[in-house]
Amino acid sequence: MKKLFIALLMNLTLFGANIDNFANEMGFERDYNAALLKSKKENKILVMVLGADYCPWCRKFESKTLSDETVKLYLNENMVTLIVDKKYDKDSFPTKYATDFTPMVFFIDPKNEDIIDKTIGYVKKKDFFKTLNIAQELHKSSK
């Protein structure tokens, strides 16, 4: 029991550093307003990944889906990406994106901050890539 508690405590304390490291490695923004401004300037969809420090599905989504080279390249070329923690960053993004579910990915129109599409939970890279394409098509058709 003591080992489990120590492991859990280490996981919780390391997440703050881990999310920043992940954001740096992936080229994700960590500030909603900066990401939105960049998204507006480049007229690209804002992709906001909402995770939680205690969520193993978030770590799996990051390592298996978002870190995939094809997904990473597509995101970096076509969208502005942001990753936030639903608990620790809750005051840094609009409350309309608050949720009890993680991971949650919002595809946000930069003009009006409306949700174009979203995914809930762990999504395999093949399915996530389909969602990326759908969101991109919806964004293009709304111009």
Domain map of the chain by residue range? 2-141
Span 2-141 CATH architecture: 3-Layer(aba) Sandwich (3.40)
82 Cβ neighbours under 8 A, 6+ residues apart? 28, 29, 30, 31, 32, 35, 46, 47, 48, 49
Q: Is the pLDDT of residue 7 over 70?
A: no
Which pLDDT does position 1 carry in this prediction?
58
Q: Is the pLDDT of residue 134 over 50?
A: yes
Tell me what the mean pLDDT of segment 36-40 comes to.
97
pLDDT tens digits for range 60-87 = 999 999 999 999 999 999 999 999 999 8
Q: Which one has a higher pLDDT value, 97 or 17?
A: 97
For residues 121-138, b (16+ Cβ closer than 10 Å) or e, as one string?
A: ebbebeebbebbeebbee
* Mean model confidence pLDDT for the chain: 88
Confidence of residue 14 (pLDDT cuts 50, 70, 90): very low
Tell me what the mean pLDDT of segment 22-41 comes to.
95
pLDDT above 70 covers a percentage of the chain that reads 87
